[in-house]
Structures are given as structure tokens and as C-alpha cells.
């Protein structure tokens, strides 16, 4: 498998073509956070909204445009964190960041199990410029969580 | 007449990328590679002649000053200017900001009566075009914020050419500055300088030309173009990073207050007031990029030896291959005018949008083949927006670019739609 | 502990001047010579990794970006800062102008509410000292012109030390900015940073430190100094010309509007408005001095390997020879405090006035012996005036300066009065 | 003779110590011009006043401070042009400029005769930074002449 094929694995292509969670929805919850992030290299943007129900990530929806890596990444993010606990979501977030920093080498089995489909992004870690693309949605998610929890206090 | 193969002069071009693939460097519009002559000139300066310029009475200071001023004269001659009409800057962006910032300073009272002619304010207009690089748009837009003047612009048509039908309504008696690019870094279109300058003169507006994409690729003569100011960069014309230049008519440079203040630019300083030297010194406060000036002059010499007419002809051939080639690929759209062998208003680059494929993904496929192209908005968000896309993939050549390089781009691009499953 | 002899690392020092005389380079305060490690780092970058930074998806762009950001991290660590607190500039002058210009822009409405905290105007005061280099005086003086604020200054005493008795009356609740030099390029005096910063904090003023003469010669830690901004230059710390840096607290850099506008610094640009990136990018429009950043990092690495404590101790020995030596010559006056082996507030230089002999004539005698010293006002007209002279002759050392170099200066200086027939 | 001794010939030292024409005087003439020049390298200044009487340079006086080269140079200037015709003054000015550009080599006999004492400045031509010093007074003279003749029209 060439580096290029390793980067654009079928899973990624599929998520890019049919992204999950696209289209901002009203979670109908009290704890809602939203974040808008821009990849300044190319102008790609994502707006992501999170609804929290206690310590559960009840809803993740987003809107945006970008390269296949950034779109597929938000899509798997949606699958990994929606309907999971905050703790699980944060573990997924950490594991994904580790994957990006692994320079294409992969992670230990525990973490890869945690990531599921998202391990397909392993090839992106070889390309520093593309890590930004893959992280765009996750940056928005992280920031949206902060916004949502602000309402707590 | 065939253009000489000069690749051996450029050490970087011998390197391989991505698992031993030969490098196809098509990102010269962003930054060019440097010939050994440039690197050697800088090194020779640093190893033999480095000293404080214009400030010491010792031998090294003398030698450094001599080389620095000789470099100025050479770069000036390269664009048809007099030596004292060239101000060194960090890059072209700084050169454009120098003019905008100085006008802002004049408007705030700096420079006093000597600079009063540059004052602008509410009711005055600053004019740019929709084809500008951010470097020749944002400084003017923010000068308008700063002074209360109004920013206006000449729109472009679907081909990226300036809509000259609008010239007379946009550039009017209220226009104080007309700033425009000589050649677009996205569509490659060369502006009708003569028409624009004529109109500016008619209404008494200053003209500021962005020469970033013309000076490295075409014969440029500021005297013939008859503009008031022109900015250009060292690193795009085979010179070092860290240096650019502003051409300005001497009388204007002498009356313009400094945009940036410091040592070496002043005559007399008290705690209360400062008087400035003449141009170019008044606009060169602080220790200048001296080794870089020497390198930029070596680049001008290198280009002159090739001959800028020959360079332009060479790049026209590249343009033909690139622009004709991409136009034949289904699902690929060329930004700017279609290739027309009769038209002479396009430089040697091609920016394309691939239907359904994001520029970043296009770039990745090219990079995998060792092709270095640029993806994104190329610091021209408004122009991309006007052309209906958010970004593009650009191939841009220089003297070391071969026709095979251009063909490699076209071939690789042709594989993109199917790779991403978007072929028609 | 003896400091290592590093002269072999500096190619230029092997050259001879004025009919084969060995070079005694004592103009490091103006600009330093560069070790091979710096020249090699730049060349290696240009020959192997040159590409557009932060803008391309291709391998060279990736490598160039990586090296550029690694250089930032290294230079940041050298002065005790975080990487995102360092902005690259053309030189220290540009760094100081960046802060002054951005405050001026904020005051003109640029940056909107986000930057409102930086707005100044009539009734506000900007404070400097009488010991400033023009680069840290004129930008503030002209910011006062631009905004209607008032410039005030802390005077110096006959020894060139700040008159701290005046501190509380000069720096008051009206003071918005306190800008001062870390070490004087004329008297060599090190400012009492702690006292000045404490007073600035008391009144809520921003502190701007001119680190041009401290960073190359002393251990400097911005976190410990607790200043808001600090400017320094590459070429004075054994690095390339064409680059300097501004340290700023991240939160301040993020809120400060740009002083200079262009590509790479922006988030979204329309013809009407622009939004900026975070720092440091928002303050780095245009193509940056990339090879020079890599060279400046190599210089920081070179100095760190020697150890800045050892460098400072070495230069203190030079100071002792220079300052004690010149004081013994009849008719020669040392500017700044007499040498006192107990005092720790002087860096390794000596500027002198010779009774009845103009600095240019002094410099000529030195130059004839192969000694490169600096003559004139060293961009400090107000300080010279305060000390009762219009200019001086300065010897300033660096890591490659030997004690013999310092002695050669003293010996040559001793011949000056009789050569010009003004001996007592 | 070393380069240094060639530069600081006795004539120059003498003129520097006792400069001629120092102290601005009122020429009591109609055509008067004055110019102030600064050597920005070192801050040296000269203010020079010229009084014309028809085509005769009737009076040259000046004030200023500077290095021995700049002071001696204004002093010989005074001697060369005061009480000479405008044409003679301009020839002297040209010859002095030629001497400065001769890189320490001297000029042909005619010109050296014309310059007299001023040929002692030959050594200055080897030092680009010092040429500015030697030319300071001449720049002022040239400019003052322009000012004086403005009143003609
Ligand atoms: C104390 C001081 N401040 C500022 C500067 C200006 O530095 P640069 O010329 O590198 O901008 C210098 C050096 O000339 C200096 O010595
Ligand atoms: C048309 C145009 N103008 C301005 C610039 C800015 O030049 P620099 O980055 O060298 O300041 C560029 C290059 O990026 C350009 O292509």
C-alpha cells in the first residue's frame, strides 16, 4: 500500500462522501456549546455543536466544508463521541491526537480498539500539513465542550 | 531559440522527495529556489566583508557599505530605476505597507508640512482591484479604517480580467491612491498598466504597483510603466528570503514621512523631535538585510545574464503546456483565461479547481508523485470567491522549470478525479 | 576558568586589513561576526529544504515549516519564552515599531473591541529614558505625535545611570507604556529592570524592553524579568542580518492588532473587512525571513553551547581591560561609569571621548592599525548630548574578542592625543 | 609616508587647528546665500554663508564643528574661493571633487596647481567614509551659491 493509499483508505473515502452528523441540529438541551474553527492554510471551516446531558455527550452536529480528510474526520468524531460519556469522549479525543502524532506508526491495540474506524487516519500522521485538516473538527469539539460546560457554572 | 537548461545551477533541485522520487518543483509563485551564485554571494559577504553599513570609519564598514550600495544600484537597474529610488524592505508585503503606513502617518500629522500632500481622510478614496493578493488589499483596507477614507475596487470578469468598463466610475477625482497588481498570482493575468496609470494621472491619484509576480518573470521597467511606486520580493526572483524592495519616485520618497522609525534614518534627534534624512535612508531605519541585499543583486545579475525577454518566452511556453493541458482534463477548471497563443497578458502559471475534490486532496496526489504545487487560496480569498471557488491548486514555474515538469503536472492532475471516484 | 578561544569558528576573523594587518574587530555592538555553524545552517536550509512556509501541502513546504517553527522554539527557549510568544521581525527596530505601530493602530480603531485596551490618546503618557537608542525613542515619540499622547522620559545622571529619584514623578497613573533599554550601547550600563517593572506594574503600564545589547551578551530570561515585550536582533547575537524577534506575552500579542498587514496573518478577508489569526501569525504577514530564522536559531544554539554565564564573565573581563585601560590615558574620557570590579551593571564595551580630537579622527588612527571600532553618535544623540559630547569612539566585544584585542584598542588610543598634537 | 600620515598632512593639521573663514559674517551685500549641512554618520554640521558681488564670490564665512578633515576642508575652501570669480570657484569645486574620487592617486598638474594647499587632501580619497567629511563644506558652498543666485531672478 503506497503512502497515498494508506492515507486515503476506503473508510476515509466513505466517511468523506457520506459524512455522519452533518447539518446543525437543535439538541433541545440546556447545556449546548458551539465552536467555529478555520484552517487558515486553506480557509476550510467547521462549525460544530455539542449538547450535553449530564455527563453524556447527547448530540454532536456540524456544518462545514473542507478536504476529504477534514470531512471524514468530523464524521468519525461524530460516531466516536455521540451517545458516549464525557470521559469516553475525552479518551477518544486523546487517542486521536496520539494517532496524529504517531508519524504513521499506529498505536497500541487498546487505543486502536478505542478508535475503531478512526484508526484509518493513521496515514495522515506522516503529513504535518494534513494533521491540521484531521484535527479541525476535534479542535471545534474541544472548544464546544468548553462552551457547553461554561453554562454549568 | 531554446532556453538553456539551468537546473544544475540550483542545488536544491537535485534532491529527491517521498521515497526517492525526483523533485518537480512547481511552487515558484510562492517562493523560488536559489542558484548557487546567490548563495555564494551571500556567503562571500558574510565571510569576508560583513560590517556595519553607513556607520563606521573602519575598513569592513567601508567594504560592507560599498557592497550594499552597489547591490542597490544593481537591483535598481534591473527594474529601470535610479539607485536612490530603491528602498530595501523585509519583503514585498513590507514595501506595500511602507507606502500605506507612511500615508497614514502623514495623515496623522507626522512629517508636518513637508508631507502634507499625502494626507487623506473622509471623502477621499483609495482604489484597489478584486484581483489583489492580501498584501496589496489589507494595508489599503486598513488605511481606510485608520483615516476615514473609503476603499473602492475595480471588479474582475469571469476570466479574472479587470472590468475596464468600470474604471472611470471607480477611479474618480476623489481617488488618491490606485494600487493594483502587475500580474495575478492566481489567474496569471497581466494588468493593463498603461490604461490604469493614464486614468490615475487624469485624476491625480498615486499609483502603487505590486510587482511580485512580474519582476521575477518579465522585463519590467518602472520608468516605462510610469508608476509612482512598485513593490517586489527577493525570494520570488531567485534571491534570498528576508529582503524585498520598494521603488518610488525620488521626490515622493523624499516627501513621504517614514512608516517605521529608528536609527540610521534620522538627521537630528532630540527627546522632543526628529528630522529625517533624504530617501532612501529615511525609510531604512535599523540594521538592514545587508547580506540579503547582496544576494538579491546576485539574483538580478543571474536573471539579467539569462535575459528577461528569454525568461518570459520560456515561461510562456510553460504557460501553454500548463493551461492547454489542464483544460483538456474533464472535471478540471482553469481559473483565469483559457490559453490563447495570441494573447500576451498571462504569465507562466495555472491554478485549477477540480470538481468535487478539495485542493488539499489534489495536492496530496501530486506530492505523492514528487510534484510540489501550491494548494489553498494563495492569499487571494476575494478573487477565489469571485470566481466561485474557495481554493485552487496552482502550478507555477521559473527559469529552472522544464517542459517535462509542466507535463508531469498535467498528467498527475488527470489521475485525480478517478482517484477520488469523482470521474464523470 | 578560561573562556575557550573560538576565533577559528569565525571565517571573517582570519582576514587581514589595511596592508596585511591582522583584524582586531571591536565593532560587535553594531553588528557581530558569524560562526561557520550559522552560515552552514542557512546554506543547508537553502540547498535542501527551502519552500513556502505554512502554506503548502508538499514535502518541501512541510520541511521548511518544520524547520522554521523549530527555529522559533529554539530562539524562544534562549530568552526564556514560549514558542508562541516569539514574533519574527526584520530586526529589533522593526520589533519595537511593531508594538508602537500596533498601539497606534488600536488607537485608530483597528482591531476593534478586541484591541480597545491598547488605545491611547491625549492625557495618556508614554515613558522612555534618556539613554535610549533612536530605535527605542523615535517610534514612541512619533506614536505620541500620532495619538496626542505625551512623551516623558527618565533622565540619566552624569555616569549615564538612570536617575531613579525621578522614577515616581515621571512614571505615573497616566503612563501607559514604559519602554527602556536593558543595556546601553554607549555607556554599557544595565538598567535596573526589576525596579522599573515594579513601578510600571504599580501604575498599570505596559513594559517594553530593548534587549539588543543584553540578549547577545548576558543570560536573559523574559519570564524572570517579567516584562511584557522585548525586542532583539539576530545580527548582534552572531546570527544573520535580516532578522530580529519580538517577545510578547501571548495574551497581549493575541489582542494587539497587526502593525503591518498582508497574507498569512489573516483568517478571513473580504474586500470590506479582515479578521486576524492568533499570534504569532497575525504579526507575521508576508513571506518571512525563513533561512534567517534558521540561522538565528543556530546562533542561539552556538551561544548556549558556550553558556551565557561564561559569555558574560568573558565579556566582563574585556570590560575591565577596556574601561580601566582608557581611564589611564590623559585626555581621554570614558562615557558612563568608571570601572568598578564590584559593580555588575556594565556590559563589555567602552565608549570614549578624546579631548580636542573628533571621533572620526580617532577612528582613523585605530583603523590604520587594523582596529575596527565605531565612531559617531551610535544612534544615541540625546544621551551623547546629555553627557556633553556629540560623539564618541566605541570598542565593543563578543565571544571571539580576545583580551589582546582589548589591549590593542587601549594602546592605539593612547597614541591619539600626541598624533593630533593635543597631548597635555 | 603611511596612509595615515598621507591623510593627515601638516597642511591639513594646520588648517584644522586654525581654520580660515570661521565665524559667520554679514557680507553687507544683496546676493547672499546660506546653507546648513549635516554629516549624518557622525552628526557633524556646517553652516556656510556666501556673499556674491556680481560674478565675484565676495565673502565666504562659516560656522560648524567636526573632524579635522571637515574643518580643514572648509578652511581651504574659504581660501580657494573667496575673492575669486564664480567661474574660478566652480573650477575649484570640480577639481576638489575629482581629487576625492581619485582614490588617493592625485590629479594632473593643472588641476593640482589650481587646488594648491587643497591637494593635501589627496589621501582622503582612499577612505570612502571620510570623503563625506571632506565634502561637507563644499556641499554647503554649492547649495549656498544656489540660494544666493535665486535672489537674482
Ligand atoms: C540598544 C540598541 N537598540 C536598538 C538597536 C537597533 O537594532 P537593529 O539595528 O538591529 O534594529 C541597537 C543597535 O543598533 C541597539 O544597540
Ligand atoms: C501578487 C503578490 N503580491 C504580494 C505577495 C507578497 O509577497 P511577500 O510574501 O514576499 O511579501 C505575493 C506573494 O506571496 C504575491 O504573489
CA C344 to chain centre: 19
Q: Quick count: other Cβ atoms within 10 Å of Cβ C54?
A: 18
Q: How far apart are CA B356 and CA B250, in angstroms?
A: 51
* Of C91, C107, C74, C115, the residue nearest C282 (C-alpha): C115
Ligand closest to the CA atom of residue B233: 2
ipTM field: 0.94
Question: Is the backbone peptide bond immediately before C280 cis, with ω within 30 degrees of 0?
Answer: yes
Question: Does chain C touch chain D (at least 3 C-beta pairs within 8 Å)?
Answer: yes
DSSP characters over D93-107: HHHHHHHHTTTT---
Q: How far apart are CA C409 and CA B272, in angstroms?
A: 36
Q: What is the mean pLDDT of residues C210-225?
A: 98
What is the best residue among B135, B188, B214 to mutate for testing ligand 2's pocket, by most ligand atoms within 8 Å of CB?
B135
- B139 with B91: CB under 8 angstroms? no
Residue C379 designated active-site: yes
Report pLDDT for C358. Answer: 94
pTM attached to this predicted model: 0.96
B192-237 residue pLDDT tens = 999 999 999 999 999 999 999 999 999 999 999 999 999 999 999 9
B239-281 residue pLDDT tens = 999 999 999 999 999 999 999 999 999 989 999 999 999 999 9
Asked if C61 reaches chain A (Cβ–Cβ under 8 Å), the answer is yes
**Catalytic choice (B379, B402, B414, B420):** B379
B381-407 residue pLDDT tens = 999 999 999 899 999 999 999 999 999
H/E stretch holding C375: strand C374-376
Query: Which of B21-30, B308-317, D41-50 has the least mean pLDDT?
Result: D41-50
β-pair partners for B332: B354
Q: What are phi and psi of D94, to 5 degrees?
A: -60, -45
Report pLDDT for A128. Answer: 87
Q: How far apart are CA C168 and CA B381, in angstroms?
A: 51
B62-84 residue pLDDT tens = 999 999 999 999 999 999 999 99
- Closest CB to A40: pick one of C56, C57, C277: C277
β-pair partners for B128: B153
Q: What is the mean pLDDT of residues A127-141?
A: 93
- B117 with B257: CB under 8 angstroms? no
Report pLDDT for A139. Answer: 96
CB pair distance less than 8 Å for A38 and C54: no
Q: How far apart are CA B237 and CA B212, in angstroms?
A: 9
Q: What is the mean pLDDT of residues C22-27?
A: 98
Q: What is the mean pLDDT of residues A116-121?
A: 92
Residue nearest to atom 13 of ligand 2 (CA): B30
Categorize the per-residue pLDDT at C424 as very low, low, confident or very high, splitting at 50, 70 and 90. low
C57-103 residue pLDDT tens = 799 999 999 999 999 999 999 999 999 999 999 999 999 999 999 99
Tell me, in angstroms, the distance from the centre of ligand 1 to residue B286's CA.
7
Ligand closest to the CA atom of residue B32: 2
D100-119 residue pLDDT tens = 999 989 899 988 889 998 99
Ligand closest to the CA atom of residue C93: 1
Q: How far apart are CA C109 and CA B146, in angstroms?
A: 7
**Catalytic choice (C61, C379, C389, C414):** C379
A69-97 residue pLDDT tens = 999 999 999 999 999 999 999 999 999 99
Q: How many pairs of residues across C and D have Cβ atoms under 8 Å apart?
A: 50
CB pair distance less than 8 Å for A129 and C66: no
CB pair distance less than 8 Å for B135 and C27: no
DSSP characters over D69-136: HHHHHHHHHHHHHTTEEHHHHHHHHHHHHHHHTTTT----HHHHHHHGGGGGGGGGGG-HHHHHHHHH
Average pLDDT in chain B: 96
- C229 with C139: CB under 8 angstroms? no
* Of C296, C341, C273, the residue nearest C92 (C-alpha): C296
- The answer for residues whose C-beta is within 8 angstroms of residue D94's C-beta and 6 or more apart is none
* Of D149, D152, D120, the residue nearest D50 (C-alpha): D149
Categorize the per-residue pLDDT at B1 as very low, low, confident or very high, splitting at 50, 70 and 90. low
Q: In what order do the strands lie in the sheet with B374-376?
A: B332-334, B349-354, B392-396, B374-376
A153 has a pLDDT exceeding 70: no
Q: Which residues of chain D lie closer than 8 angstroms to B265, CB-CB?
A: none
β-pair partners for B183: B190
B110-135 residue pLDDT tens = 999 999 999 999 999 999 999 999 99
- C208 with C222: CB under 8 angstroms? no
Ligand closest to the CA atom of residue C191: 1
β-pair partners for A32: A51
Q: Which residues of chain D lie closer than 8 angstroms to C421, CB-CB?
A: 13, 17
Report pLDDT for B341. Answer: 87
C-alpha cell at C37: 555553524
- Closest CB to D40: pick one of B62, B65, B267: B267
C-alpha cell at C355: 579631548
- Pocket around ligand 2: residues whose beta carbon is below 6 Å from it? B 91-93, 133, 135-136, 181, 185, 210, 212-213, 233, 244, 379; C 263, 286-287
- At residue A45, the 3 state secondary structure works out as strand
D153 has a pLDDT exceeding 60: no
Q: How far apart are CA A87 and CA D4, in angstroms?
A: 81
CA B309 to chain centre: 18
- At residue C385, the 3 state secondary structure works out as helix
Tell me, in angstroms, the distance from the centre of ligand 2 to residue C175's CA.
39
β-pair partners for A34: A49
β-pair partners for B129: B154
* Of C261, C303, C308, C306, the residue nearest C285 (C-alpha): C261
Average pLDDT in chain C: 96
Nearest chain D Cα distance for residue C421, angstroms: 9
HSE value, Cβ hemisphere, 13 Å, CA-based, for C214 = 24
With a pLDDT cut of 90, the percent of chain C lying above it is 95
C162-206 residue pLDDT tens = 999 999 999 999 999 999 999 999 999 999 999 999 999 999 999
Locate all alpha helices (DSSP H) within B256-386, ordered by sequence: 290-306, 308-327, 359-368, 381-386
H/E stretch holding B224: helix B222-225
Which domains are assigned to chain C? 6-30+308-419 (3.90.1150.10), 41-304 (3.40.640.10)
Best mutation target among D1, D8, D128 (most C Cβ atoms within 10 Å) is: D8
B321-343 residue pLDDT tens = 999 999 999 999 999 999 998 88
Tell me the CATH class for A3-148: alpha beta
Q: Quick count: other Cβ atoms within 10 Å of Cβ B179?
A: 27
- Closest CB to C377: pick one of D43, D66, D127: D43
H/E stretch holding B374: strand B374-376
Q: How far is CA C363 from CA C211, C226, C357, C360, C415, in A?
A: 27, 39, 10, 5, 12
C288-309 residue pLDDT tens = 999 999 999 999 999 999 999 9
Q: How far apart are CA A91 and CA A83, in angstroms?
A: 14
Residue window 124-143, chain D: list those with CB within 8 Å of chain B.
127-130
Query: Residues B50, B51, B54, B57: is their CA dihedral positive or negative?
Result: negative
Closest chain C residue to B274 measured between Cα atoms?
C138
Q: How far apart are CA B322 and CA B49, in angstroms?
A: 44
Asked if B250 reaches chain A (Cβ–Cβ under 8 Å), the answer is no
Q: How far apart are CA C361 and CA C419, in angstroms?
A: 10
- At residue C268, the 3 state secondary structure works out as strand
C-alpha cell at C418: 600626541
DSSP characters over C1-57: -PPP--GGG-GGGG-EETTTEEPEE-BTTT-----HHHHHHHHHIIIII---TTTB-
Asked if B270 reaches chain D (Cβ–Cβ under 8 Å), the answer is no
Residue window 67-126, chain A: list those with CB within 8 Å of chain B.
67-70
Question: Is the backbone peptide bond immediately before C193 cis, with ω within 30 degrees of 0?
Answer: no
Residue ranges of E strands in B211-265: 229-233, 244-248
Tell me, in angstroms, the distance from the centre of ligand 2 to residue C256's CA.
24
What is the best residue among B96, B130, B184, B185 to mutate for testing ligand 2's pocket, by most ligand atoms within 8 Å of CB?
B185
A151 has a pLDDT exceeding 80: no
Q: What are phi and psi of C258, to 5 degrees?
A: -65, 150
Categorize the per-residue pLDDT at D151 as very low, low, confident or very high, splitting at 50, 70 and 90. low
C-alpha cell at B368: 505523492
Query: Residues C204, C208, C209, C215: is their CA dihedral positive or negative?
Result: positive
CB pair distance less than 8 Å for B368 and A3: yes
Question: Does chain B touch chain D (at least 3 C-beta pairs within 8 Å)?
Answer: yes
D63 has a pLDDT exceeding 80: yes
Q: Which residues of chain D lie closer than 8 angstroms to B61, CB-CB?
A: 129
| Burial group, residue D26, by CB count within 10 angstroms (0-12, 13-18, 19+) | exposed
Question: Does chain C touch chain A (at least 3 C-beta pairs within 8 Å)?
Answer: yes
Closest chain B residue to D128 measured between Cα atoms?
B62
B179 has a pLDDT exceeding 80: yes
Q: What is the mean pLDDT of residues D89-100?
A: 95
Q: What is the mean pLDDT of residues D136-142?
A: 96
Q: Locate cell 498584501: which residue?
A: B135
- Pocket around ligand 1: residues whose beta carbon is below 6 Å from it? B 263, 286-287; C 91-93, 133, 135-136, 181, 185, 210, 212-213, 233, 244, 379
Q: How many pairs of residues across A and C have Cβ atoms under 8 Å apart?
A: 20
Nearest chain C Cα distance for residue D144, angstroms: 25
- At residue B227, the 3 state secondary structure works out as coil
CA A148 to chain centre: 17
C-alpha cell at B210: 505590486
A38-62 residue pLDDT tens = 887 777 889 999 999 999 999 999 9
Q: Locate cell 439538541: which residue?
A: A27
D152 has a pLDDT exceeding 70: no
With a pLDDT cut of 70, the percent of chain B lying above it is 99
Q: How far apart are CA B290 and CA B56, in angstroms?
A: 15
CB pair distance less than 8 Å for B57 and D43: no
Q: How far is CA B112 from CA B109, B118, B279, in A?
A: 6, 10, 16
D126-137 exposure pattern, b = at least 16 Cβ within 10 A, e = fewer: bbbbbbbbbbbb
Report pLDDT for B424. Answer: 56
Amino acid at each position: 500500500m503506497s503512502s497515498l493509499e494508506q492515507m486515503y483508505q476506503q473508510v476515509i473515502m466513505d466517511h468523506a462522501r457520506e459524512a455522519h452528523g452533518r447539518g446543525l441540529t437543535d439538541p433541545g438541551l440546556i447545556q449546548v456549546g458551539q465552536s467555529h474553527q478555520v484552517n487558515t492554510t486553506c480557509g476550510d471551516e467547521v462549525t460544530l455543536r455539542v449538547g450535553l446531558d449530564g455527563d453524556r455527550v447527547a448530540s454532536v452536529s456540524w456544518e462545514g466544508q473542507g478536504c476529504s480528510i477534514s470531512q471524514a474526520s468530523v464524521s468519525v468524531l461524530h460516531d466516536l463521541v455521540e451517545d458516549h460519556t464525557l470521559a469516553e469522549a475525552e479518551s477518544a479525543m486523546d487517542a486521536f491526537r496520539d494517532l496524529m502524532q504517531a508519524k504513521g506508526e499506529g498505536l497500541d491495540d487498546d487505543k486502536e480498539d478505542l478508535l475503531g474506524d478512526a484508526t484509518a487516519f493513521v496515514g495522515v500522521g506522516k503529513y504535518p500539513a494534513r494533521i491540521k485538516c484531521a484535527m479541525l473538527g476535534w479542535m471545534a469539539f474541544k472548544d464546544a465542550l468548553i462552551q457547553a460546560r461554561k453554562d454549568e457554572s | 531559440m531554446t532556453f538553456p537548461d539551468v537546473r544544475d545551477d540550483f542545488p536544491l533541485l537535485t534532491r529527491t522527495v517521498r521515497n526517492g522520487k525526483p523533485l518537480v518543483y512547481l511552487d515558484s509563485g510562492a517562493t523560488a529556489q536559489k542558484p548557487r551564485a546567490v548563495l555564494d554571494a551571500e556567503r562571500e559577504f558574510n565571510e569576508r566583508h560583513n560590517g556595519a553599513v553607513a556607520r563606521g570609519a573602519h575598513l569592513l564598514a567601508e567594504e560592507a557599505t560599498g557592497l550594499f550600495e552597489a547591490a542597490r544600484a544593481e537591483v535598481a537597474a534591473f527594474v529601470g530605476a535610479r539607485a536612490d529610488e530603491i528602498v530595501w524592505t523585509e519583503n514585498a508585503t513590507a514595501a506595500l505597507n511602507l507606502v500605506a503606513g507612511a500615508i497614514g502617518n502623514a495623515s496623522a500629522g507626522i512629517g508636518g508640512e513637508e508631507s502634507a500632500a499625502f494626507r487623506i481622510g473622509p471623502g477621499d478614496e483609495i482604489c484597489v482591484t478584486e484581483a489583489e493578493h492580501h498584501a496589496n488589499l489589507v494595508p489599503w483596507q486598513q488605511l481606510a479604517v485608520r483615516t476615514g477614507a473609503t476603499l473602492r475596487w475595480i471588479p474582475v470578469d469571469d476570466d479574472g480580467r479587470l472590468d475596464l468598463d468600470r474604471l472611470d466610475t471607480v477611479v474618480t477625482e476623489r481617488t488618491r491612491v490606485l494600487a493594483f497588481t502587475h500580474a495575478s498570482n492566481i489567474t496569471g493575468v497581466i494588468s493593463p498598466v498603461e490604461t490604469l496609470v493614464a486614468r490615475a494621472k487624469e485624476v491625480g491619484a498615486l499609483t502603487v504597483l505590486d510587482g511580485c509576480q512580474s519582476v521575477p518573470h518579465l522585463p519590467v521597467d518602472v520608468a516605462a510603466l510610469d508608476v509612482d511606486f512598485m513593490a517586489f520580493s527577493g525570494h520570488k526572483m531567485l534571491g534570498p528570503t528576508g529582503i524585498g524592495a520598494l521603488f518610488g519616485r525620488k521626490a515622493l520618497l523624499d516627501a513621504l514621512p517614514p512608516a517605521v522609525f529608528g536609527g540610521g534614518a534620522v538627521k537630528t534627534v532630540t527627546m522632543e523631535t526628529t528630522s529625517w534624512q533624504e530617501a532612501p535612508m529615511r525609510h531604512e531605519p535599523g540594521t538592514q538585510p545587508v547580506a540579503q541585499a547582496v544576494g538579491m543583486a546576485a539574483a538580478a545579475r543571474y536573471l539579467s545574464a539569462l535575459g528577461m525577454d528569454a525568461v518570459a518566452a520560456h515561461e510562456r511556453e510553460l504557460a501553454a503546456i500548463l493551461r492547454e493541458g489542464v483544460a483538456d482534463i474533464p472535471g478540471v477548471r482553469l481559473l483565469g483565461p483559457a490559453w490563447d497563443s495570441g494573447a500576451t497578458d498571462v504569465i507562466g502559471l495555472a491554478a485549477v479547481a477540480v470538481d468535487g475534490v478539495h485542493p488539499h486532496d489534489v495536492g496530496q496526489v501530486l506530492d505523492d508523485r514528487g510534484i510540489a504545487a501550491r494548494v489553498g487560496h494563495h492569499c487571494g480569498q476575494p478573487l477565489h470567491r469571485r470566481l466561485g471557488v474557495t481554493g485552487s491548486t496552482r502550478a507555477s514555474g521559473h527559469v529552472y522549470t522544464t517542459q517535462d515538469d509542466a507535463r508531469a503536472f498535467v498528467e498527475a492532475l488527470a489521475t485525480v478525479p478517478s482517484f477520488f471516484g469523482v470521474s464523470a
